[in-house]
Structure 1
């Protein structure tokens, strides 16, 4: 990365975060507009059974998430030898096109396909943006760079998603996707003018990026993210309907509720980025029990008009606190395949999105009520936390064996061998 002035560094970080802002809007605005989409695109089903209509509209969330799951590793491998800054622009353009296509989709099935296609560049953009942000920030600030790249995502939940939800309620859900497309149009221009061109990384290759998939630790961390964060989405996907049916909030209060969750996510992301740079494993070990307790609090408070705001704030904070440490851990576990490692976190995160939306919708449509996704969320977080403990213990054991191997090699004089460097992944 060429030397940058402080002003250009700030503008470059803003441009990277703006793309994250757009992604946060396009990913989460569907959740706030599920009732409108269900009524417009699934009229007969929604009229016969609002619960069934809402659950079916939730498939749009899973379709977008599936696009991220497929696109993150696939695109990361394909662009391994390309310039990161060039590919950032390509991903931003693809996101622009995907949202325009979503806005003009004529029927539900077509909209599902468009949401899948819109999700394809999501993970690759964040992977590229995280690495470029880390380079802009300088050595020793990887987790802070990740947090800055993710800051647009969290700010989107404070400002973008509530605003676009209100826009969709007033002018139709299609207007929200048009507004997201405008954000990406501005992002393309901002990236073009502020982020300096970066040559392809020497030695990068598709085979090198694929090597990350050989490491058991990579799969463990992906499992932690996919299961542990699934709890958040089991609730957040249906929070709009929970607020109406359980807390009896008016439609105009929904954007404020979403903004409250977004404030929690923003604070949690900042605190998590600082904590992850200092105490990466401890952040997860503390974060998951905290998140599990919050899920129980959601179950207890979601029926109260004030309590649902308190629970939403706590849920956003606790969930985002853990995210930077997970991504930093995954980048480290991937070794030299840093781009794939950075992208795989978003693939796993959107497996969580899909799992949460599906399981939350399943218990609602099965007749257990709108409070039941909170109990699903609690179970998912507990499982994710236990997997995180296993992964941390496994990594510690591998590191101990690695040190023992090196010490044995050093104490064998006359062998002519250099110390063995065994992977702790």
Structure 2
């Protein structure tokens, strides 16, 4: 449920970008920075909050972090200017990574080592189900009642999560000997930063497209704007499928799953760029990109935790720092391409290049890990 709330707020803003920029009186590239502001909040908050709560049990961590998420959305609802909305979105992003880290570690602990990839995937599936149900709902409500209604939807689910965690989740203490110093010590692991670098570069490609997916399909492909919620839901189906498949594959070989996913994302984004003038045709590579991009997320989480076993909370949170720095980078690349005079088809092509660069980095940086993989 927490993943559902977080995924809805992270992705619904992309489907409501045309309404947001009109309401705030800014252009489309500036609207893309709203997405970057949330992502940068995740980048900053994930390591700081995860390390700061290293000795706190996972249940209490989840409660406090989701409460902060709700506060950020209350501020977003009433933010009067573009600048204040940037600050509100940054605050909303702060608990994202640390919350998922606590939830994923709890699930992995309860499931046991043999099924930890699948357990992590089920936690991450909240993001995917958000794209299947929450994002279309929030997009539809945003079109009917105003784009800020999205903050009401996500805030309500955030409050429901606080209640559900308090009632349903058992206390799962942090491992013995855990401390802030020990968690921060994990940041000295070279393998950790290699995996982070691969995740940032490779996943940025997906966000170079996804940030502007509605404008591309409407303005280039000729899709009616009223179909935007259905397209977001269609993408969510691919995310659910990819996340669950990726979790199962990660239990076999995290590195190989990551590399295959990045290669197929690159191909899918290039195909989307070519098919963009025909929105109905572009749905095929869009689905492929959604499946493959989501499949790499559990693998990246496993690789990060394995690379710094003495710092599981921080390493797990860095997965979301990496993916949201990728989010910010992808949105920035897309904005730069559009601001440079390129058509809306080009960000997807730029994303394909980024995904291929991520694949090349994985071959270079993860060679030792790959040799050790089954």
Q: Would the TM-score normalized by the shorter structure come out above 0.5?
A: yes
- 1:174 and 1:291 map into 2 onto residues whose CA distance is 32
Structure 2 equivalent of residue 79 of structure 1: 53
Which among 200, 203, 210 is matched to residue 177 of structure 2?
A: 203
Q: CA deviation at 1:391?
A: 2.5
Asked if the contact 1:302/1:311 (under 8 Å) is kept, the reply is no
2:250 aligned with 1:276: yes
Structure 2 equivalent of residue 7 of structure 1: none
Structure 1 equivalent of residue 11 of structure 2: 28
Alignment map for 1:161-176 (pairs within 5 Å): 161-176=135-150
2:37 aligned with 1:63: yes
Q: CA RMSD in A?
A: 1.3
Q: Secondary structure at the match of 1:266?
A: helix
Q: Deviations over 1:116-174 (max 9, x none)?
A: 00000000001101001112222321111110110110000011001100100110011
| Unpaired runs of at least 5, structure 1 | 1-17, 46-52, 401-425
Structure 2 equivalent of residue 422 of structure 1: none
2:96 aligned with 1:122: yes
Structure 1 equivalent of residue 191 of structure 2: 217
| Unpaired runs of at least 5, structure 2 | none
> For structure 1, which segment, 268-277 or 385-394, has the greater mean C-alpha deviation from structure 2 after superposition?
385-394
Question: Which 4+ residue blocks in structure 1 deviate beyond 3 angstroms?
Answer: 394-397
Q: Secondary structure at the match of 1:143?
A: helix
Q: Secondary structure at the match of 1:261?
A: helix
TM-score, normalization by structure 1: 0.86
Structure 1 equivalent of residue 71 of structure 2: 97
Structure 1 equivalent of residue 267 of structure 2: 293
2:309 aligned with 1:348: no
* Structure ID, larger Rg: 1
- 2:279 and 2:361 map into 1 onto residues whose CA distance is 35
Q: CA deviation at 1:207?
A: 1.1
- 2:79 and 2:366 map into 1 onto residues whose CA distance is 45
Alignment map for 1:8-407 (pairs within 5 Å): 18-42=1-25, 45=26, 53-395=27-369
Q: Deviations over 1:60-87 (max 9, x none)?
A: 0000001000000001111111111101
Residue 356 to residue 261, structure 1, CA distance change in 2 (3 Å): same
- 1:215 and 1:34 map into 2 onto residues whose CA distance is 39
Asked if the contact 1:23/1:122 (under 8 Å) is kept, the reply is yes
- 1:331 and 1:59 map into 2 onto residues whose CA distance is 30
- 2:282 and 2:259 map into 1 onto residues whose CA distance is 26
TM-score, normalization by structure 2: 0.97
Asked if the contact 2:269/2:286 (under 8 Å) is kept, the reply is no
Q: Deviations over 1:324-359 (max 9, x none)?
A: 111111110012100111000100100100000001
- 1:164 and 1:272 map into 2 onto residues whose CA distance is 27
- 2:285 and 2:172 map into 1 onto residues whose CA distance is 43
Q: CA deviation at 1:386?
A: 1.0
- 2:340 and 2:63 map into 1 onto residues whose CA distance is 44
Residue 376 to residue 211, structure 1, CA distance change in 2 (3 Å): same
- 1:294 and 1:199 map into 2 onto residues whose CA distance is 42
Number of corresponding residues: 373
Q: CA deviation at 1:396?
A: 5.5
Asked if the contact 2:255/2:369 (under 8 Å) is kept, the reply is no
